[in-house]
Structure 1
Amino acid sequence: MKGQEWYQADEVAQEYDDKRFSQGGQLIDRREKEAVLEAIMPVEDRSILEIACGTGRFTVMLADRGADVVGLDISAAMLQQGRRKTQGANLEGTLEFLRGDAGRLPFPDDHFDTVVAMRFFHLADDPEAFLREMRRVSREQIVFDTFNRFSARSVYNWALPMGSRLYSKSEVSELLAKTNLTLVDVEDDFLAPYGLYRSIPNGLAEPIRTIDTALGGHPVTDHFASVSYWNTRLR
């Protein structure tokens, strides 16, 4: 995995949410959570694993809606931030944070209804191996996102601390075929890159998001979207 040392640093975990999901980054957070919920609904009583759960943005949301969730991450510092979010929380479902390696998941086969991996595959050095392991522990569904090769993200990718692996649609389709997964739905979004949104106040980001949404949703413009949200099922 790219950038493991950087990712596991205490100071990165402490600043992670504020740097990415404050200001205009709130719009990114909202859209990502919407994509996950739309793919999984109904959430209540589902058994869900999130790998690379970070500070628990999705794990806490899903547990609060009645799912039984395990959040797994390699970073102890990130997991500690996630646990702090749940202190005193009255969640409808259950939530456990667990430190572990996404390449060797400590669960038996077919253990979860759904496996979620958001903000993960852009760091994967061997995406097929990770996807196979996710498939092994899932009995129904895998939900994940990818950053797209033909997007604005490629322009500033070199400046990111960990860089990004960028994917074409055909590359992801090939990964699904190799791992015996069936595509249920894919949604493309964010013509403007994430970095732009999180660098400006929400009041400025909202009009940009309105234009972005209006231009998106078409075959031509979707080809240049920064991110794709993939909803897949086991064959």
Structure 2
Amino acid sequence: MNVSEKVKDSYSSQYDEKSVAWRNMGARYKAQNIVELAKNITFENVLEVGAGEGSILNWLSKWNFSKNLNCVEISESGIEMIKSKNIEHLKDVLLFDGYKIPYPDNHFDLVICSHVMEHVEHERILLREIKRVSKNQIFEVPIDFSFYVDKKINHFLAYGHINIYTPGLFRFLLKSENFKVVKDICYLYEDEMLKPLFETNKKGFYLTKFKMSILRLFPYLLGIKPNAYAVLTTKTDKDLSIF
């Protein structure tokens, strides 16, 4: 199975120089979450699935996260930008069809899949392929859920978000595919990430900050509605669980 042509076309030209600063800033926080989840663990080789334009890999390489970094990506323009960065510890940079990862079983100590699953038409197919090639996994997804999320469909589709998660819903997806959750992070965006989103809406910015202050006071609520959710998993030998 391949990514639908319409979906692939929408990503093939999305990476350009104008988006570099924003993506690089966001990638630093995503990379920090990866490092936090992997604290005290050494990974000899690492694969990023859906590497975009390579900003996360660039940070991980600078921080010596692993000296054997690799990636697969569906976007030709993303591949070009990754290669242009000359990332020190990056070995393979491969174009793939969105589902079939061209490596043998258990090849990687760790697969990273950050802000990808919300874009994927057939999530379970990709999850099974990630599970096949890796021993450990780190996923991060944005938490777009609200009780009236359907009223914002045009907004989310404009970002290519075709799947909506809460931390619990994403854990359900992983656990039903028999990934074992080891450690997770419910993450709230820093001001430098929020301000560009509210350039013309100061009221929206301060309202968002107020909501975030409430979430920090109540860990239970933070576990339901953070800005993003990151999780370290290991695989089991079981497949889809149907009881």
Residues 171 and 221 of structure 1: is their aligned pair in 2 closer, same or farther, counting only changes over 3 Å?
Answer: closer
Q: Is 2:141 aligned against 1:146? A: yes
Count of paired positions: 222
Q: Work out whether residues 152 and 224 of structure 1, in 8 Å CA contact, stay in contact via their aligned partners in 2.
A: no
SS of the equivalent of 1:134 reads: helix
**Partner of 1:30 in structure 2?**
28
Q: 1:62 aligns with which of 42, 60, 63?
A: 60
Once the two structures are superposed, the pairs formed by residues 166-185 of structure 1 within 5 Å of their partners are: 166-185=164-183
SS at match of 1:113: strand
Paired with 1:58 and 1:36, the residues of 2 have a C-alpha distance of 9
**Structure 2 counterpart of 1:119:** 115
Q: CA–CA distance in 2 between the matches of 1:182 and 1:45?
A: 18
> What is the one-letter code of the residue matched to 1:142?
Q
Question: Among 78, 95, 98, which residue is 2:94 paired with?
Answer: 98
Instruction: Please give the alpha-carbon distance, in whole angstroms, between the structure 1 residues aligned to 2:192 and 2:159.
Output: 14
| Larger RCO (CA within 8 A; separation ≥ 6) | 1
CA distance in 1 between partners of 2:18 and 2:42 (Å) = 28
How far apart in 1 are the matches of 2:97 and 2:51?
12
Amino acid at match of 2:67: A
Once the two structures are superposed, what CA deviation does each residue of 1:151-198 show, in whole Å capped at 9, x if it has no partner? 599475522242331113343233222322110122112379998543
Superposed displacement of residue 227, structure 1: 1.6
How many Å separate the matches in 1 of 2:192 and 2:162? 13
Name the aligned partner's letter for residue 85 of structure 2.
Answer: K
Which residue is equivalent to 2:81? 81
Structure-2 residue corresponding to 1:51: 49
Structure 2 CA distance for aligned equivalents of residues 153 and 191 of structure 1: 22
State the distance in 1 between where 2:189 and 2:53 align.
Answer: 26
SS of residue matched to 2:85: helix
Structure 1 counterpart of 2:235: 234
Question: Separation in 1 of the partners of 2:28 and 2:21?
Answer: 15
Partner of 2:103: 107
Q: Cα deviation per residue 1:76-122 (whole Å; 9 max; x = unaligned)? A: 11111111111xx6x3x343211112311110000000000111000
Change (3 A) 1:208 1:176: same
Which blocks of at least 5 consecutive residues in structure 1 are unaligned? none
Alignment partner, residue 223 of structure 2? 222
Question: Gaps (5+ residues) in structure 2?
Answer: 237-243
| TM-score, with structure 1 as normaliser | 0.78
Q: What do you get for the CA RMSD once the two structures are aligned?
A: 3.4
